[in-house]
Every structure is written in structure tokens, then in C-alpha cells.
Structure 1
Amino acid sequence: MLLLVAVWFFGEWRSGARKNQAEDRRSVAERKSGEEGAAGEVERAVGADEREGLARLAARERTEAEWRDLLRRRLERRTAREKEAIVIFKDDEAYRKFQARARAAGFFILRESAKLRAARVRYDTIAAVQQEVFQHVRDYEEIGANAFVDRPVRPVIEEDGRALAVRGELLRVLGVGAAVDRSQWGRGVIVAVLDSGVAGDAAFGSGRLRAVDVGLGLSPGSGDDDGHGTAVASIIAAGAGEVAGVAPAAQVVSVRVTAEDGRSDVFTVSEGIVAAVDAGAKVINISLGGYDTSVLLTRAVDYAEAAGAVIVAASGNDRMTMLAWPAAEARVISVGATDAAGRLAGFSNVGEGLKMTAPGVGGRAAWLGGERVLFSGTSASAPVVSGALAAVMSQKAGRSGREAWEILAARSDDAGAPGTDAEYGAGVLDLGWAMEGNPARVDLAVSSHWIERTADGAAGVSVVGGASGAGEVVDVVVQNRGGFAVAGAVLEIEAGGVKSRQVVPVIAAGASAVLKVPVDRIRVDAEGHWVLRTVVVAPGGMSDAVPENNERVSGLRVK
């Protein structure tokens, strides 16, 4: 019976090892193939009763060997801390029993989280873990590796000559005018930064920065990258000097989650989320990521959600079509990176579930020792969104982080493919629009020029500043970023030197319309390029609030 429970336990295990399941099945199938040949020899040598008994025994031994091997492979990973495990218990009684027997069973408890009913442990041998789980399998919800959660690799911006750095122009890039009074943005909102620790800096003024200890101390280390957390916090809330934070009145709680080796892990990040919530944070920024997860992280997100806190996380800098964890968690606001022109950064991870993009190329930020640096990556994009959430929350008493997120998503700049997509999510953050309270605002914008890729990913032409594809039509996306529906706008088109006009359909506030412009493939093939220029013109009598976004020019070239 105990073996059956163990089999069920591993069958239902919700560890981040889902990507290894196919490999597990293949390994099991290969072992079974070899075992079946031996079983045939045994069957011919014994009678029916003996065969039945031996079959049951062989099945039991085979199943036990398989789950022991599965457990070993789940724990012994290069992407996790060596000889460490995360142990998650089904109830408080199971947790207490484990505490009592842990050392005798070959475990040393490194950290505990009573609120998550979990422990981070070091084990003596894999055999000790296997024995413990086999004997007490009913006590566990999960036992798995303590996977690394790291600072995203610093992108080398010079590799992409098209990327336009933000530098000290973050607020302008976000659509916030120089005359706007931001002094109260973020007031009353606590934003937690789970990172390498945040150093005191003149940019934070006095009384707005404090720290919470989860076993790694209150201050940053002195390594080359230990200014990471300070840079992240300055983007959120710097209020003075050369760095202009998004929410200069917000409170910052620093939770250092990186160890002396510069790395964090799933247990520490989960513990940090709980600590941030307990410190009153309603926005939690995590500019870290990894490619494995755990039920523990799900529990931590549950804890934050129950307290009304939202989590913002970097999508990753690995040019992958998948999001890093915790950004990949469905309830987390995952953020990719764009440059100062709103174009997707080449290093930014994309994929299903990406929520938004924000500036993350060469923005000015604080560092250790009062230094100022140009900071790039989705590590820089995530705090832009965290600061924006704090700013929107501070506009109205009692506004939740989730309500603020809905405003940011609804008022983001549509980019890439029309509507929500895997590269830009809901769009590029437009804080000026999100904070705009004028229902009479008029703002029509040409959001993007888009050529859809073919099913096999082949591309015949590329749109500079847009997307690649082999389609014969460019989708011109016109977005209404104003406060009311607009009818009667016109799109002026110059395609390869040929001028035309199209009437823009009625567009509701916040919505987009797609107008199609045929590609002159004969000219593209003959000359190797083709230029498309579009300008949206508001109906007569309307004054556009942001005329700079009325026009877009794209160069198409043969790939």
C-alpha cells in the first residue's frame, strides 16, 4: 500500500520538472524493454502460480526502483543547489514530525517557513532522502531541488546597433511631460525589492528606505554585480539627483535574497515574498529569474495574492521564447524590455503569458558607492512597471495593485502584432496616458507596422522597427489613446513613393483598428527595399495631445 502511495505521489508531483517528464517516460520505457526479455525467461521456467507471484514481486521492485531513480534525478540537478532540497508538507502535524526526526534521518534544516509549511534542507546522501520519502510519503506535498534564481545575464547592447538607449530620458520615453508634477507619485505605497540588497543613496532621500532580513543580511555585498538591487530600487523610487525614479514618493523595502555567491534560489525568493508581504508591501519587484519552479513558489504567490499584493518580475535576457520563473507564473506581471523608441530589445525573453514591455535599454540608475550607471535588461524594465503601479495606486485612495495593473494594461501602447501578443504582451508601458485623467483627451497614434510571419517561420521581407514575415500585406495598427471614441480620422499612406488615403474606422477609447496596406512585391524584389510612411490625422477641429506618435516610417527589405 505504501508503495502505491509513493507512486501516486510522484505521478501527481507538480514540480517544475515538467520539462523532464518526457525524458523520464523514455528512460522508464527503455528499462522496461530490457526487463521484459528477462521476465520471459522466468515465465517459461515456472508454473502459473509461481508466475503470478513473481510478476507481482517484479512489478513492485521495478516500480520502487523507478521512483527512487526519479527522485534522484529531480534532486541532482546542475541548475539547483547541490545536496539541498525543498521539503513541503501536507499539514502542520507532518511538518512537526519531520522536524523531530530530520537529523536522525540524515537531514540538516537550513531555513524554515512556517507560513508556507516548508523547509530548506541539506541532506547527507540521496539514499537517505529516498528512504525518508518512501517511509513517510503521506506527509509530503512535494520534495524537490532548490533551483537557482539568478540575476539575468547583463545584455551587451552594442550587439544590436538598432537599440536606442534611454539614458536620463526615462520619464519622457514613458510619455510623461517635463511640466508634470510627480512629487506625490507613489505616496502611501510600499514597494519591495527582492534582489541583492539596496544601498542607502541620496537618490532615496531620508526615511523612505528600509530593509528586512531573511538570513542574508540587510546590506548588499561588495561584488561586481551587487549594485543590481540598488539600480532596481532607484528606477522605482529615486527622487533626487541624476536618477529620476518613476514613483519618487513611494516607500522601498529591501529584501536581500542573493547569497555571497551572487545567486538566489526558489526557497529564498519564496521566503522573501512572504517577508515582503509581512512588511506591508503591495508591489513586489523581482528582477531575477530561473528556469525551474516549485509548489513552494505557488504557495508564496498565493500568500501575496491573499494579502492584495502584486508581483512584478523580469522575463529574462536570454533571447528565449519562454519566460523565466517567477515571471512565468500566470498571476505574476511579467515584463519584457524595449528600447527608447518602443522597439523590442533583442535580448528580451518573449512567450505566451508575457504581460507587458517597458524601457530596459541603457537607462540611468544608481549603483553602489553613489555611482551612476547605464542599466540594461529586463531587470531594468520590471522596476519601471513596479514604479508605474505605485504611481497609479497613489492616485486614488484604496486602489489595489490589481486595479492599477488593469489601468496600465488598458492604456498601454499597442505594439507588434495587433492586440495582446507574445512579444509585447498588452503593449509598451505608457505612463503618461495611464496617469491622464482628462476624458476629453485626443490622442491618435500609429502604433505599429506589422507583417505576420508564415506558419513555418520563414520571412521574405523584414520591417525595420516592426516584424519579419513573408506576408503580402502590412497591418497598420492605429490606436486611440484618448478619452473617448473617435470617428472620421484618416490614415495618409506613402508606400514606395505612391500616396493614398484610408478612412479609419470608429475607434473606442483605448482600442485599436487595423488598416491593411499591400506590399509592392515586384518593387521589393527588384530594388531590395520598400519604404512605408503612414500618418494618422484626427478629424477636423480636434487637437491631438501627442502629435509625435501620429507618424510611423518603416523600411522593408529583402532578407
Structure 2
Amino acid sequence: MKAQEMWKVADGSGITVAVVDSGFKPVPGVPREAVLPGVSVMSPPIGQPDKTYPAHDDVDGHGTTMTAAIVGDGTGGGPKGLAPGAKVMPVRTSLGTPMAFATGGEGAKGIRYAVDSGAKIINLSWGDHFSFDRIKESVQYAQSKGALVFAAMGNEGEGNNAVNLIAMIPGVIGVGAIDETAEGLKLSSHGPEMDLSAYGSKAPVRCKDNTAWCVRDGGTSYATALASASAALVWSAHPDWTATQVARVLIETAGGPADGAKRNNWIGYGAIRPRMVLLEKAGNPGAPDGDPLAPAPTNTPAPTPSQTAAAPAEAAAAEAGLPWQWMTIGAVAAAGLGLAGTLILKRRRS
């Protein structure tokens, strides 16, 4: 990705990325000054209505890993963040706790807080079914305020291929994962809702109850963090652009399918390549409003994972993080598995 060269042009300075997730725990590898105070929107447990939770804590490690993917300094065994000059605003939800069933409603509240507090990019590396209507309203509110929203596709590619409903909301950038060769990662949920892809295979992630760094498959969670970081780089270089213009150039400059197709259901429009915008001056931002995404194809069979992005070396240079979390915890797992029955909803662009 030629990160060192990109950072001479822009490193994300001036851009705040809200990581609405499991919070952030100060760990080796993430500079304290890169993380804003943030907020916790966790609901108090039954019987303890006055109990509060600090934003700078994370019992799970998922949100901490997403933060490191964006602003990490590469020390202590952690990844080097793709946008080290950006600021991360942690918005702590119940993700990764026994209260995980509350994540959707909390996340909806957290999205609004983040936008009202100056976040330009909203990173959603999780999904929810039961609170979808509330989340959709919050996402639309964020968009009305000029924010750009990224949502992970999910890690059900080898199961029922359930796709995160948030990725179906018009204007949200659905992010899938690719491997070291730029092929669609088999675990990555896929379909017409996918817009961009980023590396999601082996990488440093927080593990052992957020007490250490380990190497695991990243999946679409960390791929989404890399996409958010890429947007921060582009927006930092072009602060006068709108969310629509940033999204448009990222899509135009993505490393598309190797067969020359405009997009496919495994990598979307392609592997994200911010260096094309910063170093090659590629991409036309176009009008400040409107829809940066072409209509999703209909009645087209999903390609096989052998359909790859055109620039594997660049895509593989990024690092990835924790697997998709909302499929594996408490009631949120049930919500994720329940998506299989809701895929009749079609994504429409306005």
C-alpha cells in the first residue's frame, strides 16, 4: 500500500474516526494521544441502574484491535495503523459482554453521539437484527450530518452467508475481506451489498481477554477498520471534500476484479487503494452530493472465491484484526444467524 510514501502526503490528521464497538483499553502499541476520551453508551445491568462504565475499557479486545488498525504505532506486538495521524473516538457498547443483546440499541445511540461530537467517519465492525430500525435511523442521521459510514459484511461466508443488514442501508459502504493473494476470503460474507474489500487474513489482534496480542484471521471486522483508515487518509488530504466525494474516489480507485468486471460479489468494486488517490492523484471526486455507488447487479450468480482483486501485492500489505464478533456472543449471535431469513431485503441506492 506504500504507506510510508502516503504518510508524506497525508496521515489522517484532522479526521476523527468513531469506533463504535466494545470500547478501548490502553495497551502497548496504541499511543494515548491518538485516542479521544470517547463515551460509553452501555446500559446498566438490571438491579444496578446507577452503574456506569468507562469508555477506556474493553473486556473483549475487539474495539481495541479496531483502534490499533487505524492509529496503532506498531510496537509491543500490535499492528501499525494505516492512518496514524487520525484520532479515534471510542464509543463503548456491550459488545463482548453478557449484555451483548443490548449492542444494537446502544450502537444506535452511540452513532448519534459520535456525529454530534465531530466524528467524520463511523466504523461499524458488527451488526444487529433486533434493533435494525433504530440503527438505520441513526445511520441516516449521521449521513445527514455529512459522515461516512462503513459496515462489515460479516464472517458467514462458509456458513449461511448471512449479510450484515447495516451494509444494506443506502449510502453505507459494505466491506468484505480478502486474503494475502487478494482473493475473497472464504469466511467473508458476500453478495451485492459488498462495495469494497480489504485485507482480513492473518494479523496481530488482541486476545486472551484483551491481555495480549496474538495472530489470527482478521475477517471483515478489521477489513472495515482498514477501509475507515483509508477514508481518513483521503479526507485528510482533501478536507474540503464531502463524504460522497471521498467514497466515490475510493470506489473509482479500488483494485477491481482481475477479469475486468466492474465489480463482483466477492470483492465488491475491489480492494481499497488509498495510495492511488494520494500518490497517483487518481479518482474524480465529482459532485459533492449524490450517490457514489453504481446500482448493485441483480439476478447475477455469485462468483467463486477465485475471482480476485487486480492488485494483490498492495492489498496484502495491510494488516487485519479480530474475527467478526457479533456472530458469536449471546443474543447478538442469534440475531446474526437470524439474518438468513431477512435477505429478501434488497439494497437500494437513492
TM-score by length of 2: 0.70
In the alignment, which residue of structure 2 is the partner of 1:530? Answer: none
Determine if contact 1:351/1:422 at 8 Å carries over to the other structure: yes
Determine if contact 2:123/2:149 at 8 Å carries over to the other structure: yes
- In the alignment, structure 1 residue 220 sits paired with structure 2 residue 220: no
Following superposition, the deviation at residue 321 of structure 1 comes to 4.5
Per the alignment, do residues 321 and 334 of structure 1 end up closer, same or farther by CA in structure 2, a change over 3 Å counting? same
Determine if contact 1:184/1:248 at 8 Å carries over to the other structure: no
- Equivalent pairs, count: 276
- In the alignment, structure 1 residue 176 sits paired with structure 2 residue 2: yes
Determine if contact 2:104/2:127 at 8 Å carries over to the other structure: no
Q: How does 1:268-283 map to 2 (within 5 A)?
A: 268-283=106-121
Please list the CA deviations of residues 451-493 of structure 1 after superposition, one character each: whole Å capped at 9, or x if unmatched. xxx9889x9xx8x8338xxxxxxxxx9x7x9xxxxxxxxxxxx
Per the alignment, do residues 184 and 374 of structure 1 end up closer, same or farther by CA in structure 2, a change over 3 Å counting? farther
Correspondence for 2:32 among 195, 202, 206: 206
- In the alignment, structure 1 residue 432 sits paired with structure 2 residue 275: yes
In the alignment, which residue of structure 2 is the partner of 1:189? Answer: 15
Following superposition, the deviation at residue 177 of structure 1 comes to 5.5
- In the alignment, structure 1 residue 465 sits paired with structure 2 residue 301: no
Please list the CA deviations of residues 518-558 of structure 1 after superposition, one character each: whole Å capped at 9, or x if unmatched. xxxxxxxxxxxxxxxxxxxxxxxxxxxx9xxxxxxxxxxxx
Please list the CA deviations of residues 408-451 of structure 1 after superposition, one character each: whole Å capped at 9, or x if unmatched. 10000111661122222111112322322457xxxxxxxxxxxx
In the alignment, which residue of structure 2 is the partner of 1:24? Answer: none
Q: In proportion to residue count, which structure has more strand?
A: 1
Per the alignment, do residues 395 and 357 of structure 1 end up closer, same or farther by CA in structure 2, a change over 3 Å counting? same
Per the alignment, do residues 365 and 184 of structure 1 end up closer, same or farther by CA in structure 2, a change over 3 Å counting? farther
Find the aligned partners of 1:291 and 1:416 in 2 and give their Cα distance. 34
Correspondence for 1:352 among 177, 192, 203: 192
Correspondence for 1:315 among 149, 153, 165: 153
SS of aligned partner of 1:207? helix
Per the alignment, do residues 261 and 207 of structure 1 end up closer, same or farther by CA in structure 2, a change over 3 Å counting? same
Determine if contact 1:176/1:431 at 8 Å carries over to the other structure: no
In the alignment, which residue of structure 2 is the partner of 1:339? Answer: 179
Per the alignment, do residues 426 and 179 of structure 1 end up closer, same or farther by CA in structure 2, a change over 3 Å counting? closer
Per the alignment, do residues 303 and 181 of structure 1 end up closer, same or farther by CA in structure 2, a change over 3 Å counting? closer
Find the aligned partners of 1:340 and 1:244 in 2 and give their Cα distance. 17
Following superposition, the deviation at residue 180 of structure 1 comes to 4.8
Percent same amino acid among aligned pairs?
24
Find the aligned partners of 2:21 and 2:8 in 1 and give their Cα distance. 26
- In the alignment, structure 1 residue 404 sits paired with structure 2 residue 246: yes
- In the alignment, structure 1 residue 288 sits paired with structure 2 residue 130: no
Following superposition, the deviation at residue 176 of structure 1 comes to 1.6
In the alignment, which residue of structure 2 is the partner of 1:382? Answer: 224
Find the aligned partners of 1:281 and 1:177 in 2 and give their Cα distance. 23
- In the alignment, structure 1 residue 251 sits paired with structure 2 residue 87: yes
Per the alignment, do residues 176 and 456 of structure 1 end up closer, same or farther by CA in structure 2, a change over 3 Å counting? closer
Find the aligned partners of 1:304 and 1:282 in 2 and give their Cα distance. 9
Determine if contact 2:196/2:271 at 8 Å carries over to the other structure: yes
Q: Which runs of 5+ in 1 are unaligned?
A: 1-174, 440-453, 468-476, 482-545, 547-559
Q: Which amino acid aligns with 1:409?
A: I
In the alignment, which residue of structure 1 is the partner of 2:236? Answer: 394
Following superposition, the deviation at residue 372 of structure 1 comes to 4.7
SS of aligned partner of 2:149? strand
Following superposition, the deviation at residue 236 of structure 1 comes to 1.3
Larger Rg: 1
Determine if contact 1:183/1:248 at 8 Å carries over to the other structure: no
Determine if contact 1:285/1:313 at 8 Å carries over to the other structure: yes
TM-score by length of 1: 0.45
Per the alignment, do residues 375 and 249 of structure 1 end up closer, same or farther by CA in structure 2, a change over 3 Å counting? farther
SS of aligned partner of 1:420? coil
Q: How does 1:132-147 map to 2 (within 5 A)?
A: none
In the alignment, which residue of structure 2 is the partner of 1:420? Answer: 263
Following superposition, the deviation at residue 290 of structure 1 comes to 3.2
Following superposition, the deviation at residue 293 of structure 1 comes to 5.1
Find the aligned partners of 1:211 and 1:248 in 2 and give their Cα distance. 18
SS of aligned partner of 2:175? strand
In the alignment, which residue of structure 2 is the partner of 1:64? Answer: none
In the alignment, which residue of structure 2 is the partner of 1:362? Answer: 202
Determine if contact 2:197/2:223 at 8 Å carries over to the other structure: yes
Per the alignment, do residues 177 and 268 of structure 1 end up closer, same or farther by CA in structure 2, a change over 3 Å counting? closer
SS of aligned partner of 2:276? helix
In the alignment, which residue of structure 2 is the partner of 1:234? Answer: 68
Q: Structure 1 residue runs of 4+, over 6 Å off? A: 454-457
Kindly report the root-mean-square deviation, in angstroms, between the aligned alpha carbons of the 2 structures. Answer: 2.9
Following superposition, the deviation at residue 292 of structure 1 comes to 5.0
Correspondence for 1:302 among 131, 137, 140: 140
Find the aligned partners of 1:292 and 1:201 in 2 and give their Cα distance. 33
Q: Which runs of 5+ in 2 are unaligned?
A: 44-52, 283-298, 315-350
Following superposition, the deviation at residue 182 of structure 1 comes to 5.1
Determine if contact 2:234/2:246 at 8 Å carries over to the other structure: yes
Q: Which has the higher contact order (CA 8 A, sep 6+)?
A: 2
Find the aligned partners of 1:390 and 1:297 in 2 and give their Cα distance. 23
SS of aligned partner of 2:306? coil
Q: How does 1:499-538 map to 2 (within 5 A)?
A: none
Find the aligned partners of 1:228 and 1:329 in 2 and give their Cα distance. 23
Determine if contact 1:361/1:375 at 8 Å carries over to the other structure: yes
Per the alignment, do residues 374 and 303 of structure 1 end up closer, same or farther by CA in structure 2, a change over 3 Å counting? same
